[in-house]
Structure 1
Amino acid sequence: MVAWALSRLLLLATALVVAASHGWRLADVLGNWDVKHFATIATQGYAPDPQEMAFFPGLPVLMRAGAVLGLAPVWSGVLLALVGSALAAWALARLAGTGAAVAWLFAPTAIFTAVGYTEALFCAAAFWAWERARADRWAQAAVLAALASTLRVSGLFLVGALALLALSWPPVRDRALGVRVRAALVRGAWLLLPVAVIGGYAVYLWTLTGSWTAWYSAQEAGWQRTFTLPWDAVRATLDAVRPGGYADQHGWGMMFRFELVSFVVGLLTTGWMLRRRRWGEAGWVGVQVLAFSLSPWLMSVNRAVLLWFPTWSILGEVAAHPAATRSGRLTRRLLVGGYALGSVVTMVWWAWKFGTGQWAS
C-alpha cells in the first residue's frame, strides 16, 4: 500500500509540475492521447469517428457512469486507474510476491496506470483472473476474464493463456493426456464467458457498420496496423531509430528504441517461462510478442509490458534471490538499487513526455 501511494503521488507531482510550468490545467495534462478517444466514446458513442471502434467499450461505459456523479471523463479515468492499479498490485503480490508488485507500480510506463487508459483496470481483472485460476476457482476466473475482455483485445490472449493453464494444471500435469484433456475441458468451459463478451463486441460493431472486421479496419485506418511479417517489422523499427532518420527528427526515435527493448524483454520472458515449463505464462507473453511483430513496426509494446505479470514475477524472484556470499549480497543490492533508481527516473521522464503531449507510445 505504501508503494502504491508513493508511486501515485510521484506521478501526480510530475503532472502538477508540468501543469504549473506550462500554465495548463491539470485535466489537460492528464487527458492526452488515448484518454481523448475514451472520453469521446463516453460522451458521444462510436458514431462520430469510425476509428474509435479500435477501443473496447468497457472503460468508456465506466466513464459515462462517472458523468452521472458529475465527474468529467478525465477524472473518472484517473479514479478508475487509482482503484485498478491498487487491485492489480494486490493480485500481483499474491501471484509473485511484494517485490513484483512494487516493481510494477514503479514501472517506467506506470503513467498509463494512473490516467484514463485501460492498463490499470485490465491488469486488475487479468491478474486476479490468473490468481483465481491458480486457486482452481475457474468460475471466478472466467468472470474476471470477461471483465478484462470488455476493456481491450488482449482479453482474447488472456483466454488463450488460461486455456493453456487449464491444460497444464499441476494436479493433472503428469497424468495421461486423456485425463489432462478432460480436466482442461471442465475448467476451460468457463472460458466461453469471456469469449462471448468479445464476440458480443464484434456483433455490436457489425450492427453499426455491417462489417465483421470493423475493429481491425479501425486499427488499420487510425494506426496503420496492417499485416507485416515479424522480421520486416523489426527491420522497420531498427530503421526508425537511426540517428537523423524520420522518427528521430520528430523526437520519436527514443520511443522506438524502448519498443525494441520491450520486445526483447517479451522474448526473454517467454523463453524463461518455457524453460520452466510454465506454459500458460509463456503463452500469455509469447502470443502478445507475436501479435506486436505482425504490424508494420513495433508499437505499443512499451505499454504491453505492464500486462506481462510473468515479467514482473521474474524481477521479483531475482530481487529476492538469496546470495551465498557477502560480495554476492552486495552485488545484488547494487543491481536492485540501480534498477530501482533507473526505473523511477524513467517513470518520471515518461510521465513528463505524456503530460506535455509528446509521443509516449
Structure 2
Amino acid sequence: MQTELLVTESRVERLTRHMLAPAGIYLAVRLVGLVVLSVLAATHDRTLLDVLTSWDGDWYLGIAERGYAPTGDGLVDAAGNSTPNTTLAFFPGYPMLVALGGWLTSASLPFVGLAISLGAGVVAAYGIARLAGDRRVGLICVALFASTPMAVTLSMFYSEALFSACAAWVLVGVMERRWWLAAACCVGAGLVRPSAGVLIAIVVLAVLLHGRTSRGLFAAIICPLGLGGFLLFVADRTGSLFGWFELQLAGWGTGFDGGQATGEFVGNVLTSDASVMETTNVLVILGALALCVVTVVRRMPWPLVVYGIGLFVMTAGSSGVTYSKMRLLVPAFTLLLPVAVGLARRRTSTVLAVLAATAVLSGWFGGYALTAWRYAI
C-alpha cells in the first residue's frame, strides 16, 4: 500500500510540474526583468510602479478611471495636442478590464492593471506552449517570448500581454478547429488592438477551408464584432467613418504607408551614429523579417505563418513612432518558433545558458528604454 501511495504521489508531482511549467518559466523570466528594471529605476530616482505605469499607461489609466471623457490631466498626443476625442485612439479592452477589476476588488487601479498584465501573460504562455506541438520547443518559446527586447511591456500597464493571450488562444482554436474558442478570443482581441484584423482574417479563412459547418460559419460572423464595433463607436463619436485612423494619423502620425517610413528609418540608422534604442529597433525589424522568411521555408502551419507575417507587415508597413516597432512586435510570438526549434536540439545546459542571457539582456534593455531613453516606447 505504501509503495502504491509513493508511486501515486510521484505521478501527481510530475503532472503538477508538467502543468505548471509554462507559468513557472514565464514568471521566472519576467521576474528577472523586473529585478533589473527596479535597479535601473532606483538609479534614476524613480519607483518601479512609476516606470511600469508610464507612457501609454497614463492614457489607459485615464480611460479606466473616466472612460472616454476628455483627459483634463495634461496628457497630449505625439503632436502635443489634446482634443475631446484624443483618448479614442486607445482601444477599450484593457482599460475596461482594469476598471471592472477595480470595481470588483476596490483595489488601486494601477495594481489591478499590472495584475491583469501578469495573469494575461501567463495565459499567453500556456497558449504558446500548446501551439508549439512539442513540450520542449513550447517551453523554450515561452521563455523567448518573455525575454524579447521589449518584453518589459508584458509587465506594464500596457495591452501587450492581454492581446498576446487573446491571439495565442485564437490560434489554438483555429489549429484545433474549436471555432467558438477562436471566435470568442478574436472578439476580445478586437477590443484590445487593431492588429486583431490579422486574427479575423485567419479565423474566416480557416472556417472557409476547414469548418463550413453552422458552428464554424457563425463563428466567422461573430469574430469581427470586437474590432468592428469599436471602430464604429469611434466613427459615431468623431462623425467620420474612418475616425479612428484619422485620430492616429493626426495625433501620432500613424498610417499605413507600405513600409516607406520604416525603410527610411532603417537606412538612416545604418548610415549614422545611432543610439542603442534606434540600433536595436533596426536589428529587431530586420530579424523579424528574416524570421518571416524562415517560417515560410520551414513550412510551419499556415495560421501561425500568416499571423507572424501579418503582424510584421502591419508594424513595419506603418508610419508613426518608429521606436514603438519593437513593442508592437512583442505579440508576434509565432516568429520565435523556428528559434525555439533550433535551440531545442541543443544540450540542456546550452539552452539554459542562452535563455538566462536573453532574460538578463531583455531586463537591461527594458530598463534602459524606460529610464534612460527619454522618448515614448
Q: Would you say same fold, with TM above 0.5? A: yes
Q: Matches of residues 83-98 of structure 1 in structure 2 within 5 Å?
A: 83-96=119-132, 97-98=138-139
The match for 1:110 is 151
Q: CA deviation at 1:256?
A: 2.8
Q: Name the CA distance, whole Å, in 1 between partners of 2:131 and 2:333.
A: 9
Q: Assess if the C-alpha contact under 8 Å between 1:109 and 1:303 holds in 2.
A: yes
Q: Assess if the C-alpha contact under 8 Å between 1:236 and 1:296 holds in 2.
A: no
Q: CA deviation at 1:39?
A: 0.7
The match for 2:74 is none
284, 287, 290: which one aligns with 2:310: 287
**Which ranges of structure 1 fall in alignment gaps of 5 or more residues?**
170-181, 322-328
The match for 1:343 is 358
Q: Assess if the C-alpha contact under 8 Å between 1:91 and 1:124 holds in 2.
A: yes
Q: Name the CA distance, whole Å, in 1 between partners of 2:142 and 2:341.
A: 11
Tell me the SS of whatever aligns to 1:306: coil
Q: Name the CA distance, whole Å, in 2 between partners of 1:53 and 1:272.
A: 37
Structure 2: which amino acid aligns with 1:60?
P
The match for 1:122 is 163
**Which ranges of structure 2 fall in alignment gaps of 5 or more residues?**
1-22, 71-82, 133-137
255, 271, 274: which one aligns with 2:293: 271
The match for 1:208 is 237
Q: Assess if the C-alpha contact under 8 Å between 1:168 and 1:280 holds in 2.
A: no
The match for 2:100 is 65
Q: Name the CA distance, whole Å, in 2 between partners of 1:356 and 1:232.
A: 26
Q: Name the CA distance, whole Å, in 1 between partners of 2:277 and 2:218.
A: 41
Tell me the SS of whatever aligns to 1:300: helix
Q: CA deviation at 1:304?
A: 3.1
Q: CA deviation at 1:188?
A: 5.0
Q: Does 1:54 align with 2:89?
A: yes
Structure 2: which amino acid aligns with 1:356?
T
Q: CA deviation at 1:299?
A: 4.7
The match for 2:333 is 309
Q: CA deviation at 1:259?
A: 2.6
The match for 2:58 is 36
Q: CA deviation at 1:342?
A: 4.1
Tell me the SS of whatever aligns to 1:183: coil
Q: Matches of residues 206-245 of structure 1 in structure 2 within 5 Å?
A: 206-231=235-260, 233-240=262-269, 242-244=271-273
Q: Matches of residues 140-159 of structure 1 in structure 2 within 5 Å?
A: 140-159=181-200
Q: CA deviation at 1:54?
A: 1.8
Q: Name the CA distance, whole Å, in 1 between partners of 2:159 and 2:319.
A: 24
The match for 1:177 is none
RMSD over aligned Cα atoms: 2.6
Q: Name the CA distance, whole Å, in 1 between partners of 2:215 and 2:97.
A: 33
Q: Does 1:82 align with 2:118?
A: yes
User: 1:285-323 CA deviation, whole Å, 9 max, x = no partner?
Assistant: 2222222233346553312332123222222211113xx
Q: Assess if the C-alpha contact under 8 Å between 1:14 and 1:348 holds in 2.
A: yes
Q: Assess if the C-alpha contact under 8 Å between 2:202 and 2:303 holds in 1.
A: yes
Identity %: 25
User: 1:31-65 CA deviation, whole Å, 9 max, x = no partner?
Assistant: 11111111111122223243322211001111212
39, 49, 52: which one aligns with 1:17: 39
